[in-house]
């Protein structure tokens, strides 16, 4: 009898070991974070998936895999670019808790590292690539046409990111011809090499102005994507100002979860205004907000392109004040995040240009 029990225990131990080796057990990632009460459309923005990468935009392979696992475990539905565009065109509905995964630039690691992880999870994605990163042959600095076609076969959509990764805000308002070349030629390059229609543009650096937005429409794009943080809502999603959550090397998995579950922050005024071009360096930037009834601000966060800034909340004026004396000239993506007394993270992002 004792020998039978020993055999059974040994069998259980062997089975458990086999499960570990074959990856049949999955770590469960759970955080006590309330989701937005308002239905949202989450768009994620990655650049490079690389272990030990030198840049603040590099995300490790294990963390990226954990991102996708967390989405699966928490009931999010990763959608294709085509499904997203159909929704914008009024031709279809989205599933509950939709997420669009996007990549910018066209790093080689998008093909070697990101693609296999997404394939493992059976999830589609979008790559916004600029022409200088796309060649007829394989090279370290970007992707070949053959590699891009393989990505398409595995559920990727390939969309536009200009010819040279140009800051389009620098062409505004007078150099329209140069901006149109950057956008239209990139669109033509991708369509001619891959044989598929290109309808989406990601503004390099997230940089745009009202003129650039109009030019993107004239170039034939149906949608344009920003690096302005925050969730998109069904009622007021702007097809040429689609917000995306940037993922950074410094982000923890809980940071990722807070971005995906974040609530839209109602903002009635910002100084500078969204996409405004100014000729001075402001010491502070402000945003006047409206919080849900009964919600109080517990903590305030602010950053520009992942650089943390000092911020405070004036409860009497319902105003977020961000110290920006250290911010230099150029295009900037500002994000403010308010941790509410209800446990939710309220997020708003906008951009402006200091010339």
pLDDT digits (tens, 9 = 90+) for 295-316: 999 999 999 988 999 999 999 9
Average pLDDT, the chain: 93
pLDDT band at 27 (very low <50, low <70, confident <90, very high): confident
**The pLDDT of residue 29:** 79
**Interhelix angle 61-73/253-260, nearest 10 degrees:** 40
pLDDT tens digit sequence for 243-294: 999 999 999 999 999 999 999 999 999 999 999 999 999 999 999 999 999 9
Residue 247 lies in a domain: yes
Question: For the residues of 186-225, what is the DSSP string, one character each?
Answer: HHHHHHHHH-S---EEEPGGG---HHHHHHHHHTT-SEEE
Residue 3 lies in a domain: no
Domain limit, last residue, from 262, 287, 308:
262
Task: Say whether both 253 and 270 belong to one domain.
Answer: no
Given the structure tokens 């901006």, which residue do they identify?
A: 179
| 3-state secondary structure (DSSP) of residue 4 | helix
Instruction: Report percent pLDDT > 90 for the chain.
Output: 89
Task: Say whether both 112 and 250 belong to one domain.
Answer: yes
Residue 314 lies in a domain: yes
Residue 34 lies in a domain: no
Q: What is the mean pLDDT of residues 343-355?
A: 96
Helices (H) and strands (E) in the chain, counts: 9, 23
Domain limit, last residue, from 245, 262, 279:
262
**The pLDDT of residue 305:** 84
Instruction: Give the tokens for residue 329.
Output: 């000239």
Residues in the chain: 355
Task: Say whether both 288 and 229 belong to one domain.
Answer: no
Look at 102 and 26; give whichever has higher pLDDT: 102
Task: Say whether both 145 and 286 belong to one domain.
Answer: no
Distance of CA 212 to the CA centre of its chain: 20
**The pLDDT of residue 18:** 44
Residue 146 lies in a domain: yes
Task: Say whether both 231 and 99 belong to one domain.
Answer: yes
Which has the minimum average pLDDT: 20-24, 50-54, 80-84, 325-329?
20-24
Q: pLDDT at residue 31 above 90?
A: no
pLDDT tens digit sequence for 111-166: 999 999 999 999 999 999 999 999 999 999 999 999 999 999 999 999 999 999 99
Q: What is the mean pLDDT of residues 45-55?
A: 97
- Residue 289's domain is classified under what CATH number? 2.60.40.1220
Task: Say whether both 55 and 180 belong to one domain.
Answer: yes
Q: What is the mean pLDDT of residues 206-235?
A: 96
Residue range of the domain that includes 349: 265-354
Whether residue 327 contacts residue 315, with contact meaning beta carbons closer than 8 Å, is answered with no
Residue 5 lies in a domain: no
- Residue 134's domain is classified under what CATH number? 3.20.20.370
Q: Which residues contact 175 (CB under 8 A, 6 or more apart)?
A: none
Task: Say whether both 291 and 196 belong to one domain.
Answer: no
* Residues forming beta bridges with residue 350, ordered by sequence position: 334
Q: pLDDT at residue 5 above 90?
A: no
Give the C-alpha separation, 94 to 85, whole Å: 10
**Total domain count for the chain?**
2
Q: What is the mean pLDDT of residues 162-183?
A: 97
Task: Say whether both 165 and 285 belong to one domain.
Answer: no
Given the structure tokens 């149906």, which residue do they identify?
A: 222
Task: Say whether both 289 and 187 belong to one domain.
Answer: no
pLDDT band at 12 (very low <50, low <70, confident <90, very high): very low
**The pLDDT of residue 15:** 45
Q: pLDDT at residue 3 above 90?
A: no
Give the C-alpha separation, 239 to 236, whole Å: 9
Cis peptide before 272 (omega within 30 of 0): yes
Whether residue 265 contacts residue 336, with contact meaning beta carbons closer than 8 Å, is answered with yes
**The pLDDT of residue 192:** 98
Question: What are the φ and ψ backbone dihedral angles of 99, each rounded to 5 degrees?
Answer: -135, 130
Task: Say whether both 246 and 271 belong to one domain.
Answer: no
Domain limit, last residue, from 262, 289, 308:
262
Sign of the four-CA dihedral 83, 84, 87, 89: negative
Residue 28 lies in a domain: no
Give the C-alpha separation, 318 to 163, whole Å: 43
Given the structure tokens 């995300």, which residue do they identify?
A: 59
Residue 10 lies in a domain: no
Stretch (H or E) spanning 276: strand 276-278
**The pLDDT of residue 4:** 54
Whether residue 233 contacts residue 7, with contact meaning beta carbons closer than 8 Å, is answered with no
Largest CA distance in the chain: 90
Task: Say whether both 238 and 287 belong to one domain.
Answer: no
Give the C-alpha separation, 107 to 103, whole Å: 9
Task: Say whether both 171 and 129 belong to one domain.
Answer: yes
pLDDT band at 33 (very low <50, low <70, confident <90, very high): very high
How crowded is the C-beta side of 341, counted as CA atoms within 13 Å? 7
**The pLDDT of residue 20:** 46
């Amino acid at each position: 009898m004792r020998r039978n029990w020993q055999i059974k225990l040994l069998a259980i131990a062997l089975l458990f070991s086999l499960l570990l080796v074959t990856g049949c057990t999955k770590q469960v990632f759970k955080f006590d974070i309330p989701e937005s009460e308002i239905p949202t459309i989450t768009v994620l923005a990655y650049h490079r998936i690389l272990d030990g990468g030198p840049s603040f935009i590099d995300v490790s392979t294990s963390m990226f895999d954990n991102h996708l696992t967390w989405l699966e475990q928490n009931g999010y539905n990763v959608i294709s670019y085509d499904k997203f565009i159909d929704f914008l065109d009024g031709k279809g509905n989205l599933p509950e808790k939709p997420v669009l995964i996007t990549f910018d630039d066209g790093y080689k690691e998008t093909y070697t590292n990101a693609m296999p992880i997404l394939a493992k999870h059976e999830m589609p994605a979008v790559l916004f690539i600029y022409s200088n990163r796309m060649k007829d042959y394989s090279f370290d600095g970007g992707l070949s046409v053959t590699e891009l076609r393989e990505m398409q076969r595995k559920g990727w959509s390939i969309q536009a990111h200009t010819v040279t990764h140009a800051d389009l805000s620098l062409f505004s308002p007078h150099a329209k011809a140069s901006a149109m070349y950057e956008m239209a030629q990139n669109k033509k390059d991708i369509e001619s090499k891959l044989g598929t229609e290109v309808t989406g543009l990601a503004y390099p650096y997230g940089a745009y102005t009202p003129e650039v937005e109009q030019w993107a429409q004239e170039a034939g794009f149906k949608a344009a994507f920003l690096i302005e943080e925050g969730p998109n809502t069904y009622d007021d999603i702007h097809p040429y100002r689609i917000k995306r959550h940037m993922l950074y090397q410094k982000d923890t998995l809980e940071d990722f979860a807070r971005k995906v579950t974040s609530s839209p922050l109602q903002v009635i005024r910002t100084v500078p205004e969204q996409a405004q071009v100014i000729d001075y360096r402001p010491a502070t930037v402000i945003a006047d907000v409206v919080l849900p009834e009964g919600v109080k601000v517990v903590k305030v966060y602010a950053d520009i392109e992942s650089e943390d800034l000092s911020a405070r909340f004036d409860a009497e004026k319902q105003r977020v004040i961000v110290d920006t004396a250290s911010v230099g000239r150029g295009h900037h993506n500002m994000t403010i995040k308010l941790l509410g007394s209800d446990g939710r993270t309220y997020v708003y992002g906008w951009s402006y240009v200091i010339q």
